[in-house]
Structure 1
């Protein structure tokens, strides 16, 4: 393997894929990033038992195709201190070398045979605007629980309604509930034996994704264009502009906010948000509690 690429492009790709690497793992190869130059492009991949990430970089000049597995965080540290400009990367025996503008680093190669296969992307269910999705996830994530003994409450409910074209994001820690709805475009269902769309697209979906993972994903996928949303029975996947990531779903269900807070004759008040926030901040000095929703 041998390729040439700008340092900034390599650093961004390695940093994006390295997000999912475990800090500590009893399986050493899970700390590795897989670099693949077959197919005329550089692909950087990483995974742990909960999530995976893959990014394609078209800007690389492939001199010799191949694959190599190296320690991901160590490679990221090297990328950060490389001089600006083009760098050359190559496998030389049992070493992966990175060099540019007089600087040269070498990393030991990890055994490719021991590296598990990356999970495939689940079936794509539709697409959502990247900026709206990131903003909605950030809004509801503040209400997610932090208690790992109640795993469902540490997640964000992701509900898809194909009939109304609505995505619902919701989170709760039992004391507060945050909900955001946004439009999304459902993918066409696969025709069944009778020519009708499959049941998933007709009925929608209702799953729970780790709030921490979903926040990282939404932030990293960019702020323009459409994000493809993919789901199956055990995982969720997101894809945008050459970046693809999957995450394992959490078990359980969150209470439905539309039923939990159903009121026959609710009282509604419309106030200026800024003045309300200032008033709450003033009185909160004599109260105990988490004010992370006040922004």
Structure 2
């Protein structure tokens, strides 16, 4: 194999590959990236056996071929090369080394046999559809903060993507929950997605997918089977196993009878919560919300550190209410609001609270209260 490639294109591809690679590997080949050159394209493939990413980039291919080399080492080398450099990658197939040359810099990296590199088996995808990058970005970005980190409840360690009944018909929906808070985000159902089986996309795949969704002009081809999900752009293909488990019936925890309505500027609210929570160093910092007509008082009482209080002018016309929440959960939910105002719907101090972005019901959040 003998190729020449622009440093910027190489860096982008290798960066995506090395982010999939696990740092601690008992199987040496899984630390490597598979480089395959043919025609005028070079592909970089990395996997941890659960996720596989393939990134293609244009290159001058003098001799087709393939090689595998440590992904992290190659990324570090390319990252430190000067902008605009033309990088030559050469593997003669006999020396067990990949030569990396750029200007006066020269590196010889150890390789492993390409035939040892595991390629994820292709799947028969039962559902195929396309969705604009901004649509998928909104679905996953707004849901992922609620993914559980409890390994024992593995079926909550991802985002549940499925077809559901919305207010005006079927929608593509993403849901995540850790038992303390829940996010449910809807989007218009894309053509071809109607019969999609619900799948739980793992946290790592959600984070890797985010890197594909930055370009607003890109259409993402989505393919779903019972065991795998694939997201593809013209240059990148991300394939992931889905979590083998049953996502719980989340509809039972979304309250429908909450009538006490609070409307508040989302930015002002988040900043106020952040300020009053400063006095407490506990992980589960409890913030108390005291509501009266058009008035909200946020307070924190930390006996060891002190106390804090801040008042906000809000829209509230129901009976007085006092309720507590984990400050971190409040901040994360308030951070999802794209619109100016956040709407909270309460029932009582002991019941789950519903939060929406203004009057938009396509994004709904639920947070459990705390005793304060």
**Which bracket does the TM-score occupy, shorter chain normalised?**
0.7 to 0.9
Equivalent residue for 2:334? 294
* Aligned residue runs from structure 1 range 89-238, under 5 A: 89-92=89-92, 93-120=95-122, 123=125, 125-160=128-163, 164=169, 166-187=171-192, 203-224=195-216, 225-238=218-231
Q: Which has the larger radius of gyration?
A: 2
Distance, in Å, in 1 between the alignment partners of 2:47 and 2:269 is 44
Size of the aligned set, in residue pairs, is: 280
Q: Is the 8 A contact 1:40 1:65 kept in 2?
A: no
Q: CA deviation at 1:45?
A: 0.4
| Closer/same/farther in 2, CA of residues 109 and 128 from structure 1, 3 Å limit | same
C-alpha RMSD of matched pairs (Å): 2.4
Equivalent residue for 1:249? 242
**Moved runs in structure 1, 4+ residues, more than 6 A?**
none
Match status 1:20 vs 2:60: no
Q: Residue deviations 1:191-226, cap 9 Å, x none?
A: xxxxxxxxxx55332111112321331234433221
Distance, in Å, in 2 between the alignment partners of 1:119 and 1:204 is 21
The structure whose RCO (Cα within 8 Å, separation 6+) is larger is 1
* Aligned residue runs from structure 1 range 14-53, under 5 A: 14-53=14-53
**Higher fraction of strand:** 2
Distance, in Å, in 2 between the alignment partners of 1:130 and 1:97 is 37
- Among candidates 282, 285, 295, match of residue 300 of structure 2: 285
Q: CA deviation at 1:268?
A: 6.5
Q: CA deviation at 1:13?
A: 0.7
Distance, in Å, in 1 between the alignment partners of 2:170 and 2:61 is 42
Q: CA deviation at 1:293?
A: 2.4
TM-score (norm 1): 0.86
TM-score (norm 2): 0.69
